[in-house]
């Protein structure tokens, strides 16, 4: 049977650097991963610079590259993608921000940048949506809650620019900053003024809101200010279906990944109990992906937890989570109708607690794939694989060719 679909599994931040607490090896190499190893044995392996050698990727730029959208052309900041991920439909030219609910004291100092890790803020966001009026600028806005203390703000109007600063002081005990234009031009200055007005009008709405009065009564930090950052102008993304002729879905907990998916026109598939963390329902994600493949040509699944352990510097936890991922992948071994791609989007070394440019390991497995001698999925072994070292933007063309959907170049 020729594989005619693609299952693309991104294990976020899976790869690492040698760690002293693991006897000088990586969490992935230290983990027991019989399923991933079998997929590696049945497939072709390699390592990949998701953006380019020595380029330290964000999850957003990495995923764009992996989907074949050159981030240098398409990436215009995190804000618009977070907006898409929060369910705001972004039209080209709209300005997007990622936001946090935070707590300020009566004398105007930021006390808690996450407002006591408040969640379920939809009512607060609706109060802001109904109460703030930016019409004197000729600007419409959409403000939506995200997961936890997060939210997103989108501005629509003529003459808006995206080169503006944040009001987040990035530390507590100091007042929020005034948002200013980074470049001296009327459009950026207008956006800065609109943002400052948005914050000014939303604060009394939040201060007086019953949810916050209750929180204060219960000694919880109220969500009484919106901090915004990551400004960007929504670009034009060539729809995935037009680009590849494939209809597809995205399954992810992170709103940023969902935002990238929806920006390129992938259908977002909700899965109960997914958190983007160690406790996520990752078995549910794989089950949902299998179901999607009944009707779709392409499914992107992102599993986030290992990246979180990397940021927290917890090598043992990362290794244990990788073993948990391995166990839920077992049903994929029987899947013969699709090309299965498994890779990271970047390395998140526990020793660095951030992303690094170290290349990520990669498996491509499916009918018609020329196999190699690699029988283990880790950074060291995959480096000896038949794919050698490829850039992230090469992945979609390779996968498309394996399902015989590429056009011949030349006669
Ligand atoms: Zn990532
Ligand atoms: Zn990360």
341 CA from centroid of ligand 1 (Å): 16
Strand, coil or helix: what is 88? coil
Average pLDDT, integer, range 111-118: 93
Nearest CA to 14 among 242, 315, 398?
315
- Residue 21 pLDDT > 70: yes
* Residue 2: per-residue pLDDT: 78
307 CA from centroid of ligand 1 (Å): 6
Q: Which residues contact 190 (CB under 8 A, 6 or more apart)?
A: 137, 159, 160, 161
- Residue 363 pLDDT > 70: yes
Ligand index nearest the alpha carbon of residue 345: 1
- Residue 147 pLDDT > 80: yes
Q: Return d(Cα 265, Cα 22) in angstroms, integer.
A: 41
345 CA from centroid of ligand 1 (Å): 5
* Homologous superfamily, domain 5-76+237-402: Alkaline Phosphatase, subunit A (3.40.720.10)
73 CA from centroid of ligand 2 (Å): 22
Report yes or no: 341 and 399 within 8 Å, Cβ to Cβ. yes
Q: What percent of the chain has pLDDT over 90?
A: 97
Average pLDDT, integer, range 266-291: 95
* Residue 136: per-residue pLDDT: 97
Average pLDDT, integer, range 161-190: 96
Q: Return d(Cα 137, Cα 142) in angstroms, integer.
A: 15
Average pLDDT, integer, range 272-284: 93
* Residue 1: per-residue pLDDT: 63
Average pLDDT, integer, range 242-261: 96
100 CA from centroid of ligand 2 (Å): 18
* Residue 205: per-residue pLDDT: 98
Nearest CA to 361 among 338, 381, 375, 386?
381
Average pLDDT, the chain: 96
178 CA from centroid of ligand 1 (Å): 30
219 CA from centroid of ligand 2 (Å): 32
Ligand index nearest the alpha carbon of residue 62: 1
In degrees rounded to 5, what are phi and psi of residue 354?
-160, 175
Nearest CA to 306 among 332, 335, 342, 341?
342
Where does the pLDDT of residue 394 fall: very low under 50, low under 70, confident under 90, or very high at 90 and above?
A: very high
* Residue 275: per-residue pLDDT: 87
206 CA from centroid of ligand 2 (Å): 31
Average pLDDT, integer, range 341-346: 98
21 CA from centroid of ligand 1 (Å): 23
pLDDT digits (tens, 9 = 90+) for 289-328: 999 999 999 999 999 999 999 999 999 999 999 999 999 9
Q: Which residues contact 210 (CB under 8 A, 6 or more apart)?
A: none
Report yes or no: 28 and 378 within 8 Å, Cβ to Cβ. yes
Ligand index nearest the alpha carbon of residue 308: 2
311 CA from centroid of ligand 2 (Å): 6
355 CA from centroid of ligand 1 (Å): 8
Ligand index nearest the alpha carbon of residue 350: 2
336 CA from centroid of ligand 1 (Å): 28
355 CA from centroid of ligand 2 (Å): 6
164 CA from centroid of ligand 2 (Å): 24
pLDDT digits (tens, 9 = 90+) for 25-44: 999 999 999 999 999 999 99
- Name the residue ranges covered by the structural domains of the chain: 5-76+237-402, 83-233
As given in the structure block, the two tokens for residue 60 are: 């957003």
Q: Return d(Cα 182, Cα 382) in angstroms, integer.
A: 43
Ligand index nearest the alpha carbon of residue 302: 1
- Residue 104 pLDDT > 80: yes
- Residue 59 pLDDT > 70: yes
pLDDT digits (tens, 9 = 90+) for 231-240: 999 999 999 9
410 CA from centroid of ligand 1 (Å): 37
Nearest CA to 289 among 345, 231, 250?
250
Average pLDDT, integer, range 342-352: 98
Where does the pLDDT of residue 148 fall: very low under 50, low under 70, confident under 90, or very high at 90 and above?
A: confident
Q: Which residues contact 409 (CB under 8 A, 6 or more apart)?
A: none
14 CA from centroid of ligand 2 (Å): 10
Q: Where are the alpha helices (DSSP H) in 329-393?
A: 379-382
């Amino acid at each position: 049977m020729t594989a005619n679909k693609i299952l693309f599994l991104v294990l976020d931040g899976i790869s690492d650097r040698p760690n002293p607490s693991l006897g000088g090896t990586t969490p992935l190499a230290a983990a027991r991963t019989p399923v991933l190893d079998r997929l590696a044995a049945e497939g072709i392996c390699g390592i990949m610079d998701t953006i380019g050698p020595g380029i330290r990727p964000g999850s957003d730029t990495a995923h764009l590259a992996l989907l074949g959208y050159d981030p240098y052309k398409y990436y215009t900041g995190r804000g618009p993608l977070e907006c898409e991920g929060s369910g705001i439909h972004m039209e080209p030219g709209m300005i997007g921000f990622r936001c946090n609910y935070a707590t300020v004291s009566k004398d105007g100092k930021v006390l808690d940048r996450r407002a006591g890790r408040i969640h379920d803020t939809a009512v607060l966001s609706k109060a802001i949506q109904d109460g703030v009026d930016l019409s004197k600028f000729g600007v419409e806005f959409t403000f939506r809650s995200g997961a936890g203390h997060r939210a997103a703000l989108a501005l629509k109007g003529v003459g808006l620019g995206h080169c503006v600063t944040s009001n987040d002081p990035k530390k507590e005990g100091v007042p929020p900053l005034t948002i200013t234009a980074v470049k001296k031009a009327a459009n950026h200055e207008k956006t800065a003024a609109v943002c400052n007005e948005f914050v000014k009008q939303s604060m009394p709405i939040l201060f007086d809101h019953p949810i916050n009065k209750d929180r204060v009564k219960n000694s919880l930090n109220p969500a009484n200010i919106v901090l915004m950052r990551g400004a960007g102008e929504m670009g034009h993304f060539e729809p995935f279906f037009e680009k590849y002729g494939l209809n597809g879905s995205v399954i992810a907990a992170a709103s940023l990944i969902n935002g990238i998916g929806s920006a390129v026109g992938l259908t977002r598939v909700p899965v109960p109990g997914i958190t983007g963390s160690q406790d996520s329902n990752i078995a549910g994600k794989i089950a949902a992906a299998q179901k999607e493949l009944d009707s779709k040509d392409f499914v992107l699944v992102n599993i986030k937890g290992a990246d979180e352990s990397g940021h927290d510097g917890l090598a043992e936890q990362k290794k244990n989570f990788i073993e948990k991922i391995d166990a839920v992948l077992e049903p994929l071994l029987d899947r013969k109708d699709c090309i299965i791609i498994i890779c990271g989007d970047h390395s998140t070394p526990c020793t660095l607690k951030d992303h690094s440019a170290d290349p990520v390991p990669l498996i491509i497995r499916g009918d018609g794939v020329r196999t190699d001698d690699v029988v283990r999925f880790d950074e060291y072994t995959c480096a000896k694989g038949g794919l050698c070292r490829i850039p992230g933007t090469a992945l979609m063309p390779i996968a498309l060719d394996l399902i015989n959907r590429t056009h011949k170049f030349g006669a």
